[in-house]
Structures are given as structure tokens and as C-alpha cells.
Structure 1
Amino acid sequence: MTDPQLARRLGLTDAVLIGLGSMIGAGVFSAFAPAASAAGAGLLIGLVIAAAVAYGNATASAQLAAQYPVSGGTYVYGREQLGDWWGFLAGWGFVVGKTASCAAMALTFAAYAVPAPWQRPAAVAAVVALAAINYQGVTRTARLTRVIVTVVLLVLTTAVVASFAGGTPAIAGLVADPVEGPSPYEVLQSAGLLFFAFAGYARIATMGEEVRDPRRTIPRAIVTALAIAVTVYAVVAVTLLLVLGPQRLATSRVPLADAVAVGGSAWAVPLVAVGASAAALGALLALIAGVGRTTLAMARRADLPAWLAAVHPRHEVPHRAEVAVAVVVSVLVLTVDLRDAIGFSSFGVLVYYLIANLSAFTQRPEQRRFPRWLQVAGAAGCLLLVATLPPQAVLSGLLVYAVGVAYRTARLTVARR
């Protein structure tokens, strides 16, 4: 029997905006401080490396999504191109890691939006509200994403202009010290931090079953969204280095707010907080949608409980999967603070894209849209960035995968009996 299908309602603009909502999240407001702490002005080189790795990964996802325009992203691609276990590893890492990221993003939104005593309730309210919007259909998700992305881009534009309004940019902030400059490892650390901040382009592929003319739309949307996001990150990075300098940037808790204050535009500081809140909401909205679609795909193939594979007869969304995601994220928000404890999510992201590159490498010539060396470069980049992760992140990631392997092994054993 054919599985109930999701509705194809997203056009090119909607798909690009969903990608942007995933990439221009809270990271653009916070990732540059730790990147500067790692590499100083060398973070610009790190951004170039991160963008190059992201491009390799994005072309792999785009090429695969054109061949397999269904929900699930690399979970589906891994299964079809490499085998069931490869797909499971990609899907398991994505669902578990990104569920933790949902909780972290909800708490990040609340930290900007409300006083400390109200942060957990506000985070749960955000999760419930965004899940309810997703439940109403993918077009509602796309409309809200359009509003959020517009707000974030307007705030970032205002912040950049305000940062230069009252000061003289220090060009030296863009130049690394030739004697005490960052080591190659420190530059790679900054690349890893920035890569994880905007690695959301696969969200478009994950929702491939809901895109109109997917073989044409998805590749264009992924590459376009990534190009815009990298440009935004580059403009913000250069602004912060010119206005604050590497040393001050490295110690800043709120870099853009500090930059507009240095520029003499204190009125814009609250505006930056509004933009950061909106960015966190945009990333959370896309995350909930992406995890729900991957959960749907895994449930269709019995890698998660089959009852999660239901599609709402009227709204044509994976409603049970999205409700389950919202419930789990809400419980996490109320019980733990995952903002500083999701290293395994970073490990899972790299495994996810490694499998995407390996899957794209095995595609037949008639399915190829990009040269094969890009998949080699993308896979090598993923392995290179693994080397920048803290050992604790790698160990926690391996533990998450060990639990997943044990779960699937037990399920297959029971099924054979």
C-alpha cells in the first residue's frame, strides 16, 4: 500500500526562505565571539573554509534531493544509495541531535525575550505555538518563515549601519598578526563553529516531498539560500572585526549589541535583542518541521514506531510526528538546559553530511548535476571538522549512535522472530 503523501505546496521562494530561516538563526548573533576567541581575525579564513565545506555538502544534498524528492533527506538517500544501516545512522543522528537543538534554540529565544524566571515557560510556549503553526500546513510554516526572515534581515541591516554610524572602522581588525596569529588548528576551530551556525541548508531537502517541481526547485533553492546566508555572515563578520576588533569581539557576550553601542547607536541595542529572538524562532520553526519530516520517513520504514507515519487528511502534514517532537522538546526544555551540552548534535551533523556526500558520490552519471570531486571535498571537509570538535562532543556523539545501533538491532531481532 502506498504511504499517504504530503502536499507539494512550496515554490522556489518559499524553499529559499525556509533554508534561510534555518541558517540565519541565533548563530549570526552569537557565533562570532567564540570564533574570534579561537582564531582572532583568522575567523574570516575560517568562514571561507566553512563556506567551502558547506558548498560541497549542499551540492550533494541538492543532487540527491532531485533524484529522491521525498521527506527524510539523507536518511532516505543513505538507504537508497548505500544501504539501510547508513540511512538509519543519518536519520538517527539527525532526529536525536536536532531534537536537542530544538530545546537549545527554544531556550535561546527565551533568554533574549523574557526575564530568567519566565524563560522555561516561555520556551515551552514557543515550541507549542510553532508546532501548532506547522500542524496547520506547510504554507503556514512558509508564511511565518517569510515574516521572521524579513525581520531578522532588517535588524541585521540596521545593526550593521548603526555600528558604523559614530566610529572610525579599524582596518587592522581584519588582519591577523603575522607573528602571533592563529595556528591552522585554531582557524579550523573557527571554521567548525561557523559551519555549525549556518548548516541548515539540508532542511530544504528534508522537506522535499512538499516542494513543487522538486527536481528543478530544490537544487536551486539550496544553492541560493546558502549563497545568501554566507554573504550575510561575511558582512556581519567584517563589521564586527572592523568596529570591535578581534580582542574585544572574542570576549563579547552580545557582539552586535556591543558594536551598535560603540557606533553611538544605543537605541539599536534593544532592536538587536528583537532580531536575535526572531532568528531563534525562525531556526526553531524550521527545526521542528525538519525533525518531523525525518521522523515521518523513518516511521514509514519501521525505523521508528509506525504510528508516527500518519499524514493529516486535511492539512497534509506529519501531524503525529510533529506533536511527538513538540512533546519531547517541551519535556527537555522543562528539565534540562541543553544550550551548552549539545556537542553530539555537532557530531551528528557531520556524520549526516558525510553520509550525504558518500551517497551522492555513488549516483549514476545521468543523475549527477555537480562534479564528483565536490562530494570528495565535502566528505573530506566533514572529516576535517570532526578534528575540531572537543573530545567530549565526539564521545557523546558516539554514545548516541551506540544507543541507536542497539535499538535498531533489537527491533530487527524481534521482527525476525
Structure 2
Amino acid sequence: MAQSGAHRPDGMGLRRTLGVRDAVVVGLGSMVGAGIFAALGPAARAAGSGLLIGLAVAAVIAYCNAMSSARLAALYPASGGTYVYGRERLGAFWGYLAGWSFVVGKIASCAAMALTVGAYVWPGQAHAVAVAAVVALTAVNYGGVHKSALLTRVIVAVVLAVLAAVVVVCLASGTVGAARPAVGPEGFAGVFQAAGLLFFAFAGYARIATLGEEVREPARTIPRAIPLALAVALVVYAAVAVAVLSVLGPDGLGRATAPLADAVRAAGVPGLVPVVRVGAAVAALGSLLALVLGVSRTTLAMARDRHLPGALAAVHPRFQVPHRAELAVGAVVAALAATVDVRGAIGFSSFGVLVYYAIANASAWTLSSAPVSRVVPVVGLLGCVVLAGALPGVSVGVGTGVLCVGAAAYGVRRRIARR
């Protein structure tokens, strides 16, 4: 088995253990997670029957982002994802801004997923359950990425089975939801807002790129794994959206607090509701597992470059994982999960993720001067900007403020370093 330390003479490299299948599973564990259980309702409220248009818009932008990320990951197979790409292609500041957006935004997303687990498992003690979930999954990640991939494979299988049951039950029921105009009351602005919400459920393929030092033959594995994971997720999302819309209709779906559970109940199979709730909790655990995995690797990369405390760059001599980064991320997520509101966490996370991918597309744009080669990153970049702007005003405002704080911190650090 190849070791990853070849390009890290200081011995701080990670062990390459993941093949294409494992990398795809890690991406699916991030995408086919709690987003599909939670995002359909708010998206339907924004877009009405235009929900499927919003899904298509989100998929196109996610595809562009995936292709840009795959090209970059093949050239720079190191932990950190767009933090590394932005640094190498655009300059140190843009790499730092991408890393800052990813770490801060995804820590918020970790908290949201942990709270989703709590809400489904024990609604009256959601915060306590969320903290326990963070502690447990941090311990799993500490034991090594290969063990994490094996657990993620089990979680993905359970979630896909639950989603398949929902689709079959809804489409076979013969129940027809109430119709509604092609787009919601906000017009096409609502479609773009729905796309932004649904994009949250597509964003997990970044976890494949951030594991660049832990996959075998990264130049071959990553470009294959990212599109495969995205394609599977798109098929699953489209099937679930069509099935749930067919039963609840846009109005019913927009009002639903637990859309998939409400759909199987409306389809006349209430006995499946507890299964769907368990599936939602398992899905959120899968997302949380992969999120903590990815955030800790970007933290590792930023710590190596002293944008974060250098102590976080340590790699455990036995488990070959960035153990201090994982413990630090777990501690911050647990603190947030004990205190924050899930809606605010999701809104801010979406903004940070879109900024992250905007920088990825800008980085991919520099790889070639051929106009044809630049179409995908240009579409991805413009799409990220549009969807970020279409998010609720509070999310945009808070996200912009946090980015400014990060930029200011970078400037202060640079000024001190020059003295």
C-alpha cells in the first residue's frame, strides 16, 4: 500500500487507504444525508411546482463545481481541497479565504446535522443528543479514515434503502397532491432560492477532494469518484422529489415539517413513518461523520501553513489522522450544537459553501486559456454568486461579516509577519 508521506518530507503525510468505491461512499455519505429529509419543504415553499426546476439548477451548478474540483484535485492531491487550489492558482489570500469559508461554514453545518439527529432521536433533548453524537463520531474519526469509510458505507446503504421505500410507497399509492402554478409566489427568485437550499444537499462531494492525501492514485481516483457520487445523488434526489410531490403536491410539501414522513403517511402507510424517522437520524449521522472528516483535513492544511495554530497540524503516529485538528473541530461543533439554532446554522453554512466553490471555479478557470475549457468554471462561478445572493438576507449579511473578519485576521497576520 502506498504511503502518502512522499511529498511531505517532514513525515506529516497521511496514509492512502481509499479507493474509488470508498471515495464515492464518502461523497454520498455527505450528500445523501439529512438535506434530502429537510430541504424539500423550504424549497417547495420558495418555488412551488418550480421545485424540480430549482433542483435542476442546483444540479447544474453542482456539476460545474464537481468538474472544476475534479480537475484541480487531480493536479493537487493534498488535504485541504479549494484551500490548496486557491492558494496555488490565485494566491495565498484566496486560498486562505476558501479555507476560512469552508471551515467556518462547515462547522456550522456540522452543528446543524448534529441538531437534526437530536430532533429525530429525542426531540425534547435535541441539544444533549446532538452533543453526544458529535463526541461519538469524533471518536470514530480519531480511529482512522478507513474505519470512518466503512461506517459511512453502512449508513449510506441504510439511507438509500429508506429513500427507495419512500419512492415506491408514494408512487404506488395513487394519491395525487394538489396542483399549483409553475413557480411559487416569489417567481423565479423563489426558484433560485430553492436551488440555493437544495444545493446544500449536493455539497458533499467536496469531502472527496479534501481527502486528497488519503486516496490511492488520486490523479485517477478523485476525478472518477466526484462525478459518480454526484450522479447517484442527483438520481436519488430527483426520484424522491417527484414521488413526494406526487403525494403531497407543492402546497402540502411546503407546509410539511417532516416531508418524507408526511408523504408516506399521506400515501396510506403510517407504519413506515418510524422507519423514515430513523432513516433521517442515520442520514444526519452520516453527514456529520463526513463533515467532521472534511473540516479536520482543511484545518490540518491551514495549520501546516500557519493560518491556524501549528499544533493542529500534528498527525497521530499510530492512527495516521490529524488528531488534534479532529479534537478541536469536535469541541467547537459540540459547543455550537449545545447552543445554536439549526435554521441559522444551515443558512450561514450555505453561504460559506457557495463562496468556497466560487473560489474553486475561479481557480479552475486559470488551468486553461481555451474558451471551451473555461465554460464550466465560468458557469459554476456565476451560479455560486447568484445562489449566494438569493439566500435569505440574514444569511448573506452574517456570512459577509464573518468573511470580513477572516480577511481582517489574514491582513493582521501578514502585517505581523513582515515585521
Instruction: Give the TM-score category using the shorter length.
Output: over 0.9
Deviates more, 1:302-311 or 1:96-105: 96-105
Shift of 1:371: 2.8
1:124 Cα deviation (Å)?
1.2
The 3 A distance-change label for structure 1 pair 289 and 241 is same
Distance of aligned partners of 1:29 and 1:342 in 2 relative to their CA distance in 1, 3 Å threshold: closer
The alignment partner of 1:253 has SS state of: coil
Q: Distance in 1 between matches of 2:310 and 2:33?
A: 32
Paired residue for 1:371? 373
Indicate whether 1:160 and 2:167 are aligned. yes
CA separation of 1:15 and 1:6: change in aligned 2, threshold 3 A:
same
Deviations 1:376-407 (A, max 9, x none): 11111111112211222111111111211222
Question: Any stretches of 5+ residues in structure 1 without a counterpart?
Answer: none
The residue that corresponds to 1:210 in the other structure is: 214
From 224, 228, 232, the equivalent of 2:232 is: 228
2:78 to 70, 81, 85: 70
How many residues are aligned here? 410
Equivalent residue number for residue 308 of structure 1: 312
Distance in structure 1 (CA, Å) of the matches to 2:323 and 2:257 = 38
State the alpha-carbon separation in 2 of the partners of residues 324 and 154 from structure 1: 34
The corresponding residue for 1:261 is 265
2: CA distance between counterparts of 1:41 and 1:402?
Answer: 37
Following TM superposition, by how much is the alpha carbon of 1:165 offset from its aligned partner in structure 2, in angstroms? 4.2
Paired residue for 2:250?
246
With 118-127 and 339-348 compared, the bigger mean Cα shift is at 339-348
Aligned 1:1-400 pairs, distance under 5 A: 2=10, 4-116=12-124, 118-169=125-176, 173=179, 177=181, 183-364=187-368, 371-400=373-402
Cα distance in 2 for partners of 1:180, 1:192 equals 15
Return closer, same or farther for 1:179/1:298 CA change in 2, 3 Å cut-off.
Answer: closer
Distance 1:385 1:86 in 2: 20
Identify the residue that residue 407 of structure 1 maps to in structure 2. Answer: 409
Secondary structure (helix, strand or coil) at the match of 1:340 reads helix
How far does residue 415 in structure 1 lie from its aligned partner after superposition?
A: 2.3
The amino acid that maps onto 1:147 is V
Q: Secondary structure at the match of 2:344?
A: coil
SS for the counterpart of 1:201 is helix
The superposition leaves residues 242-294 of structure 1 with CA deviations (integer Å, 9 ceiling, x where unpaired) of: 11111111101111111111111111000000010011000000100000000
What is the distance in 1 between the residues matched to 2:250 and 2:184?
13
Match of 1:229, SS? helix
Q: Distance in 2 between matches of 1:84 and 1:133?
A: 33
The 1:146/1:180 distance shift into structure 2, 3 A limit, reads: closer
* C-alpha deviation, 1:364, in angstroms: 4.4
TM-score (norm 2): 0.94
- After superposition, the C-alpha distances for 1:281-339 in whole angstroms (9 at most, x for unaligned) are 00000100000000000000011000000011111110000000011111112233344
Percent identical across equivalent pairs? 60
* Letter in structure 1 aligned against 2:406: G
By how many angstroms is 1:192 displaced? 1.1
Structure 2 unaligned segments of length 5 or more: list them.
1-8
Amino acid aligned to 1:396: V
Instruction: Work out whether residues 357 and 379 of structure 1, in 8 Å CA contact, stay in contact via their aligned partners in 2.
Output: yes
Q: Distance in 2 between matches of 1:166 and 1:53?
A: 33
